[in-house]
Amino acid sequence: MTQQYILIETPVDGVGLIRLNRPEALNALNSDVINQISTAMEAFDADDTIGCIILTGSDRAFAAGADIKEMEQRSVVGMLTGDKLTDWTRIARISKPVIAAVSGWALGGGCELAMMCDMIVASESAMFGQPEINLGIMPGAGGTQRLTHAVGKAIAMEVMLGDRRLTAAEALHYGLVNRVYPVERYLDEAIKLAAKIATMPGVATRMIKAAVNKAYDLSLQQGLDYEKRNFYLLFGTEDKDEGMKAFIEKRPPQWKNR
């Protein structure tokens, strides 16, 4: 039987929390871990009672990277024919907002996993890095692209070529993370942020997430066209009618997420 490497919780209404639970390997991400995260995220994505998802690890490690002991067995043919990227890609395709709550090590695939999320709330002990070069390889789950977009070319090069680790304070300074809190508080603060997002109208949150992500893929004009299309589509939702009516009637809106 496959070992269960994650814990699933609903700490407050509207928030689905996935906790990596492989402490003996600092939450190293083997194929089963990634498959379990993807499956749990897709279940929350399909659950109408959930408006925001949190992915977290332990205070000591968010995740120390892909499982080196598993990768050591792999050949180029095995990597190519095994379609090893599929489960990782499932995580980046989640339509609801996802927050990574990161403490301790977020290295290699662990850093890439955090960057696949939409926001990062970090503890003061969080440490971000892409140390793959020490193993004779390079980032393979988005690090060269997402880190560069987040912190800029100069710092990204140093992180990946020179194995520079970024502290939480540095990550905040460079724009990789949203907020930093003492280790006793980072998860509670991530839950508070997620709970707030979960109270927002659900179709609009998905449309905003999709449009912001297009800023990475498209030219400015294409991105503006995509934004306008989503903006117009929201005029067909019950939430648009309710939101505007509630404003005019000076009362809080009752979202239907439709």
Residues that bind ligand DAK (CB under 6 A): 25-26, 28, 64-69, 84-85, 88, 105, 107-109, 131-132, 134-135, 140-141
Catalytic-role residue among 51, 112, 126, 129: 112
Distance CA 29, CA 17 (A): 18
112 is catalytic: yes
In the complex, what is the shortest distance from the CB of residue 190 to ligand DAK, in angstroms, rounded to a whole number? Answer: 22
Burial 66-97 (b: 16+ CB within 10 A, else e): bbeeebeeeeeeeeeeeebeebbebbbebebb
Instruction: Identify which of residues 113 and 204 has a Cβ nearer to ligand DAK in the complex.
Output: 113
Catalytic-role residue among 16, 101, 126, 132: 132
Catalytic-role residue among 28, 61, 64, 66: 66
What is the total residue count of the chain?
258
In the block, residue with structure tokens 């000076």: 250
Strand 127-129 to 166-167 pairing: antiparallel
Instruction: Identify which of residues 41 and 141 has a Cβ nearer to ligand DAK in the complex.
Output: 141
Instruction: Identify which of residues 100 and 141 has a Cβ nearer to ligand DAK in the complex.
Output: 141
72 is catalytic: no
In the complex, what is the shortest distance from the CB of residue 223 to ligand DAK, in angstroms, rounded to a whole number? Answer: 27
Strand 119-123 to 98-102 pairing: parallel
- Positions marked catalytic: 66, 109, 112, 132
